Amino acid sequence: MPRPIPHFGPPTVHFDLNTESSQATDLIGWWPPLASRGMNTLRDRSSMSIHGAFVGNPTWQAIQQQGWCLDFNGAADYINCSDSPQWDASDDLTVALWVHPDARVGFETVAGRWDEPPNPNNRVWAITFTNLDAIRFDTSDTGLFIGGNAAVTGNNVLTNGVWNHIVCVHDSGATTNTVYVNGISQAIAAGATAGLLDTDIPLHLAHSILFGGFATFYDGRLGDVRISNRPFAFPEVLDLLKQPWDLYKTPMVPRARSPLAFLAERGVLRGAWRGIMRGM
């Protein structure tokens, strides 16, 4: 039996990515780093198989010994995922991802299908971090920039240097865009346009073109990324937070551990635990 593999984000639950099982039909993109570690391609484990090509030099980093993530330098590194017709088959969207940002000096796009010249008016959606640690979630049904569509959080909702779980939801029926950070609704834009532009623009992770041709790059680490073609409700957002690696497969039973080890794993009583371990 393959050895259970833990994820790197809180809370700790163990999954086996080698065990095949049915996936949710709404899942139209899923890029878990564990499935691609050491490669120069980020494999899509959804049925779409839209694998991401490395541009620049994204680097693999081990997390908690058995987890993996990609690190981007904020200057030239990103992932390019070719367009898929399934991405335009629905006007609803949920994007969920784990991010470990470094400090920012400007706008940085962590994920999106969003471009300006040389492809003017070719915008679908984008998740962008500001220099004040706020998050923007923009959508467009015409390809034009429509500021009123954006769900914009308050400042300082991101914590630099640690893992944050972000979920952005576009609900065409309710005409809303919503941003969740670590399971908490931080922004909602009511009256957003119902549709999403049908176009052949690819998905970029850690990069987009903004502000009349200005290239933005994400500086930090990126973990599990999922895209679904329906709007997730709040309980489902919490499920993603609790089971960040593998919501669409059966979780394995967590390894038994002592209460002290459980707390130490979360950074609580870390110093005390290290002292205990040294004395054993």
Same domain, 259 and 242: no
Please report the pLDDT score of residue 109 as a whole number: 93
How far is the CA of 229 from the CAs of 24, 175, 233, in angstroms? Answer: 10, 15, 13
Rounded to whole angstroms, the Cα distance separating 226 from 166 reads 11
Rounded to whole angstroms, the Cα distance separating 35 from 174 reads 35
Q: How confident is the model at residue 117 (pLDDT cuts 50, 70, 90)?
A: low
Same domain, 225 and 261: no
For residue 48, the one-letter residue type is M
Same domain, 131 and 97: yes
| CATH code where residue 22 lies | 2.60.120.200
Say if pTM beats, i.e. exceeds, 0.95. Answer: no
Mean pLDDT on 123-139? 93
Same domain, 174 and 84: yes
Please report the pLDDT score of residue 118 as a whole number: 64
The whole-chain average pLDDT of the chain stands at 79
Same domain, 67 and 17: yes
Q: How confident is the model at residue 265 (pLDDT cuts 50, 70, 90)?
A: very low
Domain count, the chain: 2
Mean pLDDT on 93-117? 89
Residue 233 or residue 269, greater confidence? 233
Residue range(s) defining the domain that contains residue 157: 5-249
Q: φ, ψ for residue 78 (rounded to 5)? A: -165, 175
Same domain, 171 and 269: no
Per-residue b/e over 243-277, b at no fewer than 16 CB within 10 Å?
bbbbbbbeebeeeeeeeeeeebbeeeeeeebeeee
Same domain, 100 and 233: yes
Rounded to whole angstroms, the Cα distance separating 177 from 125 reads 11
Same domain, 42 and 157: yes
Mean pLDDT on 25-39? 88
pLDDT digits 0-9 by tens, 201-258: 899 999 988 766 778 899 999 999 999 999 999 999 999 888 645 333 333 333 333 4
